[in-house]
């Protein structure tokens, strides 16, 4: 019941490390297109590999995932082992059909998993057999969708509980983030198709790997104490995966990227930097497969990649110049001569909004400077996306750097006015 929002805290640190980061929504989820029929993790894995090939060509890449992301990542590693440099999981969801538990701890784990599956995964049965019935019923019920999703966060996450074992969600999660996650299902009308992954898994028989499967891609596992989907012993996981890193985590549950982002990030960094993953190639692209996403999507909801930026700049060249100020690469256009005017665009816009007529009309009498705000247009922030105060400081530094002969007139539209 998650979304690409789960990885929000991980993107900027990984970009700062020098990686190209892709956080896809899966087909039928959030802002992505809807499949015409239910598809499961095996077919979705082919779509995700196709996305990475389209973005990066033949470059090898890394995959990280939990929940459906772990299943999709597993099938990607199964089908395209030469394309994937490393597989990092925070949930071991798939195993080979013949990976039978034998040791005492393996048998105990299997019994516990079976008991919890019977008691806690009614949603899987419903969505795996009659997804449309549930989906249509929920499609116009905000309270129903909220209850369906939040119940999973309360049951599956490592959250504080009261004397009656009732979860306190708001101690573990940001209220705005959870509500935004719910609204992605409602506003985009994706709740119906978000249930199809379960049915697709049944139809394509992708709930486990074929007998004899051994995933040869180097695999790292961050083992969080998931209360409903308990992780297997390492010896059990090694029957299917080439485990090169296994980290037992002190806290966190099903939604690791949200619950314990620092622990997950540290483990990912250690794995990505390990000799088994990066010995034979430079830093590669990372495909972060959404942990906990139960819907599937084809297009990327958020793509942070320098390679893509280069392609876009070739097709739609920047109008002006670039300058590095205050930790940001700022794109600006400088036209005309006379008293300076700095034009700052609003939300969801860029400096071209002013170039359709306003800038040309002013340039006859004024020196007109159009600025792409940090994170908009062609301007890029090197670290965390700055807020209003941070953007104002960056633009002030730009003005200082340009050494204007007199204080400029500032013109701000929408959010640019606040800046």
Active site residues: 67, 198, 254
Helices 41-56 + 306-315 axis angle, to 10: 60
Helix (H) or strand (E) holding 301: strand 300-304
Residue pair 28/296 in contact (Cβ under 8 Å)? The answer is yes
- Which of 321, 333, 395 is closest to 360 using CA atoms? 333
Spatial separation of the C-alpha atoms in residues 138 and 140, rounded to whole Å: 6
Residue 28 per-residue DSSP state: B
Spatial separation of the C-alpha atoms in residues 103 and 101, rounded to whole Å: 6
Nearest 5 degrees, angle CA 413-CA 8-CA 91? 165
Instruction: Say how many Å lie between the first and final Cα of the chain, rounded.
Output: 36
For residue 330, list its beta bridge partners. Answer: 323
Longest Cα separation, the chain: 84
CA dihedral 75, 80, 86, 91 (to 10 degrees): 0
Spatial separation of the C-alpha atoms in residues 351 and 237, rounded to whole Å: 52
Which tokens belong to 287?
């495909």
β strands within 53-173, DSSP E? 61-65, 84-89
Spatial separation of the C-alpha atoms in residues 355 and 361, rounded to whole Å: 9
Which tokens belong to 366?
């004024």
User: What is the SS3 assignment for 342?
Assistant: strand
Which tokens belong to 325?
């100020």
375 torsion bin: left (phi>0), alpha (psi -120 to 50), beta (else): left
Residue 289 CB neighbour total at 10 angstroms: 30
């Amino acid at each position: 019941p998650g979304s690409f929002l789960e990885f929000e805290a991980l993107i900027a640190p990984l970009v700062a490390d020098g990686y190209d980061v892709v956080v896809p929504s899966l087909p039928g989820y959030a802002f992505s297109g809807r499949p015409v029929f239910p598809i499961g993790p095996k077919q979705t894995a082919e779509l995700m590999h196709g996305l990475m090939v389209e973005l990066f060509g033949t470059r090898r890449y890394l995959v990280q995932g939990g929940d459906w992301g772990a299943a999709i990542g597993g099938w990607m590693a199964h089908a395209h082992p030469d394309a994937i440099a490393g597989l990092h999981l925070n949930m071991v969801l798939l195993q080979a059909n013949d990976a039978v538990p034998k040791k005492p701890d393996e048998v105990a784990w299997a019994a516990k998993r079976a008991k919890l599956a019977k008691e806690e995964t009614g949603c899987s049965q419903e969505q795996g057999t009659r997804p449309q019935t549930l989906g249509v019923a929920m499609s116009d019920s905000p309270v129903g969708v909220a209850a369906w999703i939040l119940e999973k966060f309360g049951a599956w996450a490592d959250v504080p509980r009261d004397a009656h074992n009732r979860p306190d969600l708001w101690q573990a999660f940001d209220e705005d983030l959870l509500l935004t996650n719910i609204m992605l299902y409602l506003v985009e009308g994706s709740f119906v198709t978000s249930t199809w992954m379960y049915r697709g898994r049944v139809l394509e028989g992708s709930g486990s790997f074929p007998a004899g499967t051994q995933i040869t891609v180097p695999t790292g596992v961050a083992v969080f104490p998931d209360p409903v989907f308990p992780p297997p012993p390492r010896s059990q996981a090694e029957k299917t995966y080439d485990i090169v890193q296994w980290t037992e985590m002190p806290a966190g549950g099903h939604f690791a990227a949200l619950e314990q982002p620092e622990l997950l990030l540290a483990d990912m960094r250690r794995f990505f930097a390990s000799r088994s993953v990066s010995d034979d190639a430079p830093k590669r692209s990372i495909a972060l497969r959404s942990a906990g996403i139960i819907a599937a999507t084809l297009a990327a909801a958020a793509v942070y990649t320098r390679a893509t930026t280069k392609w876009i700049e070739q097709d739609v060249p920047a109008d002006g110049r670039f300058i590095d100020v205050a930790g940001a690469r700022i794109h600006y256009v400088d036209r005309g001569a006379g008293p300076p005017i700095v034009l700052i665009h609003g939300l969801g816009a860029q400096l071209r909004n002013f170039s359709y007529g306003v800038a040309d009309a002013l340039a006859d009498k004024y020196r007109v400077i159009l600025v792409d705000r940090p994170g908009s247009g062609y301007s890029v922030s090197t670290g965390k996306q700055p807020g209003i105060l941070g953007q104002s400081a960056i633009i002030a530094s730009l003005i200082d750097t340009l050494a204007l002969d007199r204080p400029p007139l500032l013109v701000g539209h929408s959010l640019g006015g606040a800046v």
